[in-house]
Structure 1
């Protein structure tokens, strides 16, 4: 798992060896409190992956091109193999801002938990969840990474999220393991919302059967069932709203590049519009802090309409 972030700044001066915390560094600490951030390269790390911020920020860069490098270095999923990311090639503020985008894409490897997800019950939930996934199949790997990422988004949005919401985040797309593990079929749906509603309902039943096997109490299982069963439609329920936000943010921050490569343009456009509709307007600012492939960014700005997404550092030299 990712434990440390090492930052080598191109504009570091001797008198600034320990620079005062600034905006981007403060945000890193707030968004990723379990990650140790060092402003200088340190020796003695057994597993360090060096990444160049200039490559990440280059015009036309698609973040999916880095995925296998990072996931392989971390051992994949919630491996016990610790990883330090060493990010180089930019001055102080730009380096920290780029690091935030990189950590956001790979936050499924961070494995943050809170009091509700610490202990033997959630350990068993994570083990059972992993066992469902045949990681020899590329689409299943993508689903597994999305599940972990959605869970981590929930904890970023709601650090005190209860066990039902966190479990629902992990299992919300479990139905795909039955219907779309070898090929996606959603683009063939005549009624897309009906297709998604059926996916949610079937997934709720599958998840709750599995959760009974790991010893979750009936009241919590029923709460998980309701959240998953309704997660494709925005509603006033706080947990459901948080899951919709987390699911939508995970699509844009992690899945959208691969989605755009797999599906035809028109279906990608439909998916972008549909997913943006599930994300509350007051959370859209987060989209300015994720690295979007150029074609996804164009579709997203088209979907937003007259409102232009805030610029990010990703397009600056």
Structure 2
């Protein structure tokens, strides 16, 4: 688990003065920000913020290093160096946003043994030696963390739905993506959601969830590809869309051709509520993704705000 953010630029009174650090700590309350010396007893991974901030940098290039470092039994600490003041704050927010799936934040609704069993069963379903399955597993954890970041008091049902919303891909796209071959993309997505809802219900029953929770999670997963008026469903759509941009988009554009990538960016942006657009400014996007996103936002006459 990711527990600490270590800074070379850390004074006697704490992190460098500035409102930016209060935002970082508000967004990631379970991650301790401290000096390099605080990393004793954890695995420390050094990261160069200058490299991260380069105009041509694709964060996908760091994923193997960071996710790999987190696979040990020791807590993970990220040591950010190579920047100061505002540049360091921006990088910290972007780095934590990209790797928030490693934070493992939970709330009162998900702190108990039922969610422990659900997490363990979810992990057991995923063969992480298969690259696409690993990507889906990381996305599931990330979408779950987005739910808690957007709504800290989120119910167990919406957290479980975020964790399992794409579980159907274990059947249809574990080794090869096929979505770009769909004649009707929305119909393809709706069928994916319906099958995933049945799979999710079975897992929930297996781990001992009550009938009301099983029904609610099944409903959310079944409808997660279509935004609606249900606040939980809107939250799930926001979390799924934000996770695509913050984590999966770099790999997506490497896998698919430019036209399908363009359509995917447009489709995912349309699922995001306007009040969440500011979150796009807290992400380090691959240059190609940023250009595609800027084109879509320009067509809607919307700016892409920065952190």
CA distance in structure 1 between the partners assigned to 2:286 and 2:110 by the alignment: 33
TM score, norm. by length of structure 2: 0.96
Alignment size in residue pairs:
305
- 2:184 corresponds in structure 1 to 191
CA distance in structure 2 between the partners assigned to 1:291 and 1:277 by the alignment: 20
SS state at 1:6 partner: strand
Segments of 4+ moved more than 2 angstroms? 16-22, 39-46
- 1:158 corresponds in structure 2 to 151
CA distance in structure 2 between the partners assigned to 1:264 and 1:167 by the alignment: 32
SS state at 1:174 partner: coil
Residue 208 (structure 1) shift:
0.3
CA contact (8 A) 2:6 2:38 kept: yes
Gaps of 5+ in 1: 313-317
CA distance in structure 2 between the partners assigned to 1:43 and 1:113 by the alignment: 23
TM score, norm. by length of structure 1: 0.93
Gaps of 5+ in 2: none
- 1:222 corresponds in structure 2 to 215
- 1:5 corresponds in structure 2 to 5
CA contact (8 A) 1:45 1:84 kept: no
- 1:53 corresponds in structure 2 to 49
SS state at 1:256 partner: helix
1:301 aligned residue (272, 294, 306): 294
C-alpha deviations, 1:30-63, integer Å up to 9, x for none? 0000011015554624410000111000011000
Residue 309 (structure 1) shift:
1.4
SS state at 1:3 partner: strand
- 1:315 corresponds in structure 2 to none
- 2:107 corresponds in structure 1 to 114
CA distance in structure 2 between the partners assigned to 1:212 and 1:294 by the alignment: 43
The Cα RMSD (Å) is 1.5
Residue 173 (structure 1) shift:
0.2
CA distance in structure 1 between the partners assigned to 2:88 and 2:191 by the alignment: 44
- 2:130 corresponds in structure 1 to 137
Residue 94 (structure 1) shift:
1.5
Residues 1:285 and 2:278 aligned together: yes
- 1:27 corresponds in structure 2 to 23
CA contact (8 A) 1:50 1:88 kept: yes
- 1:258 corresponds in structure 2 to 251
C-alpha deviations, 1:240-269, integer Å up to 9, x for none? 000000000000000000000000100000
- 2:70 corresponds in structure 1 to 74
CA distance in structure 1 between the partners assigned to 2:36 and 2:126 by the alignment: 38
Structure 1 pair 188/43, CA: closer, same or farther in 2 (3 Å)?
closer
Residue 311 (structure 1) shift:
4.4
CA distance in structure 2 between the partners assigned to 1:134 and 1:85 by the alignment: 26
Q: Kindly indicate whether structure 1 or structure 2 has the higher relative contact order, using CA contacts under 8 Å at least 6 residues apart.
A: 1
Residue 210 (structure 1) shift:
1.2
